[in-house]
Chains A and B, each alone.
Chain A
Amino acid sequence: MNDTPWTAQRLAEELLEAADTATSRTSVEAEWPELDLATAYRAQDAALDLRLARGEKLIGIKLGVTSRAKQKQVNIDTPNVAWLTDAMRLPAGEPVVVEEYIHPRAEPEIAFLLGRDLAGPGIGPETAMAAVDAVYAAVEIIDSRFAGYKFTVTDVTADNASSGRFVMGSVPASPFGLDLALEAVLVESGGEVIDSATGAAVYGNPAEALAFAANLLGERGHTLKAGWLVLTGGMTDAVPLTPGMSVSAQFSNLGSVTVRAQ
Chain B
Amino acid sequence: MIPHQELADALLTAYRTGEPVEPFTPRFPGATIEDAYRVQQLQVAAWLDDGDRIVGHKVGLASRAMQDMMGVNQPDFVHLTQRMFHLEHAPIPVGTFQQPRVEPEVAFILGRPLTGPGVSIADAIAAVDHVVPALEFVDSRISNWQIRIFDTVADNASSGGVVLGSRPTKLADVDLRLMGCNLFINGELRGTGAGGAVLGSPLNALVWLANTLGPMGVTLEPGHVVLPGSMTRAFDVAPGDSIVAHLAGLGSVTTYLAKEDQ
Q: Which residue numbers of A lie inside 8 Å of B, CB to CB?
A: 68, 179, 181-186, 192-201, 204, 235, 250-252
Q: Which residue of A lies closest to B246 (CB)?
A: A182
B179 close to chain A: CB less than 8 A: yes
Give the chain A neighbours of B246 by CB distance below 8 A: 181-182
With A184-B178, A198-B192, A201-B189 given, name 17 new contacts (CB 8 A). Answer: A179-B180, A181-B246, A183-B180, A184-B179, A184-B193, A184-B248, A185-B194, A186-B194, A186-B197, A193-B64, A193-B197, A196-B231, A198-B181, A198-B194, A201-B192, A250-B196, A251-B178
User: Nearest 7 A-B pairs (CB), nearest first?
Assistant: A184-B180, A196-B194, A184-B194, A182-B248, A182-B180, A198-B180, A186-B196
The 8 Å CB contact of A200, one of B178, B192, B231, is: B192
B38: CB under 8 A from chain A? Answer: no
Residues of B with Cβ closer than 8 Å to A?
Answer: 64, 175, 177-182, 189, 192-197, 200, 231, 246-248
For A194, the chain B residues whose CB sits under 8 A away are 64
A207 nearest CB across to chain B (Å): 15
CA distance A199 to B197 in the complex (A): 16
Q: List 18 A-B contacts (CB under 8 A).
A: A179-B248, A182-B181, A182-B247, A184-B178, A184-B193, A184-B195, A186-B177, A186-B178, A192-B64, A193-B196, A195-B197, A196-B194, A198-B180, A200-B182, A250-B178, A250-B196, A251-B178, A252-B175
Complex CA distance for A68 and B179, rounded to whole angstroms: 22
Report the minimal beta-carbon distance from A244 to chain B, rounded to whole angstroms: 20
By a CB distance below 8 angstroms, the chain A residues around B189 are 68, 200-201, 204
Name B200's closest neighbour in chain A (CB-CB).
A193
Q: Which of B177, B193, B200 contacts A198 (CB 8 A)?
A: B193
| Contact present for A196 and B182 (CB under 8 Å) | no
Nearest B residue (CB) for A204: B189
A196 touches B248 (CB 8 A): no
Q: Is there an interface contact between A181 and B196, defined as CB atoms closer than 8 Å?
A: no
Report the bound CA distance from A179 to B196 in whole Å. 19
Q: Which residues of A contact B192 (CB under 8 A)?
A: 184, 196-198, 200-201, 235
Cα–Cα distance between A198 and B21 once the two chains are bound (Å): 38
Report the nearest A residue to B250, measured CB to CB.
A182
CA A218 to CA B26, docked complex, whole Å: 61
In the assembled complex, which residues on chain B have CB atoms less than 8 Å from the CB atom of A193? 64, 196-197, 200
> With the chains together, A111 CA to B182 CA distance in Å?
20
Q: Is the CB of B180 within 8 A of A252?
A: yes
Across-interface contacts of B197 in A (CB, < 8 A): 186, 193, 195-196
Q: Which residue of A183, A185, A186, A199 has the most chain B CB atoms within 10 A of its CB atom?
A: A186
CB of A52 to closest CB in B, whole Å: 37
Contact B248 A197 (CB under 8 A): no
Give the distance in Å from the alpha carbon of A199 to the alpha carbon of B189 in the complex. 11
Q: Which residues of A lie under 8 Å from residue B177 when comparing CB positions? A: 186
**Distance in angstroms between the alpha carbons of A193 and B197 in the assembled complex:** 7
Tell me, rounded to whole Å, the shortest Cβ–Cβ distance linking B34 to chain A.
28
Q: Which residues of A contact B247 (CB under 8 A)?
A: 182
Q: How far is the CA of A198 from the CA of B177 in the complex (A)?
A: 13
Residue of B nearest to A250 (CB): B178
Closest to A181 in B: B182
Contact B181 A184, beta carbon cutoff 8 Å: yes
Q: How far is the CA of A184 from the CA of B193 in the complex (A)?
A: 7
A256: nearest chain-B partner, CB-CB: B178
**Smallest Cβ-Cβ distance to A196: which chain B residue:** B194
Closest chain-A Cβ to B259's Cβ sits at a distance in Å of 26
Residue of A nearest to B198 (CB): A193
- How far does the Cβ of A197 sit from chain B's closest Cβ, in whole Å? 5
Interface centre among B64, B189, B192, B231 (most CB of A within 10 A): B192
A184: chain B residues at CB < 8 Å are 178-181, 192-195, 248
Taking CB atoms, residues of chain B closer than 8 Å to A195 are: 197
A142 to B181, CA, bound (A): 26
* Cα A204 to Cα B247 with chains together (Å): 15
B191, chain A: closest CB distance, angstroms: 9
Question: In the complex, what residue of chain A is closest to B180 when comparing beta carbons?
Answer: A184
Q: Which residues of A contact B64 (CB under 8 A)?
A: 192-194
CA distance A198 to B181 in the complex (A): 7
Residue among A68, A181, A197 making CB contact with B194, cutoff 8 Å: A197
Complex CA distance for A193 and B202, rounded to whole angstroms: 12
- Which residue of B is nearest A252, CB measured? B178
Instruction: Please tell me if the beta carbons of B196 and A196 are within 8 angstroms of each other in the complex.
Output: yes
**In the complex, what residues of B have CB within 8 A of residue A192's CB?**
64
A68 CB to closest chain B CB (Å) equals 7
- Give complex CA distance A192, B199 in Å: 9
Question: Please, how many angstroms separate the alpha-carbon atoms of A120 and B194 in the complex?
Answer: 33
Please give the distance in Å from A212's CB to the nearest CB on chain B: 16
Cα separation A5 to B166 with both chains bound (whole Å) = 66
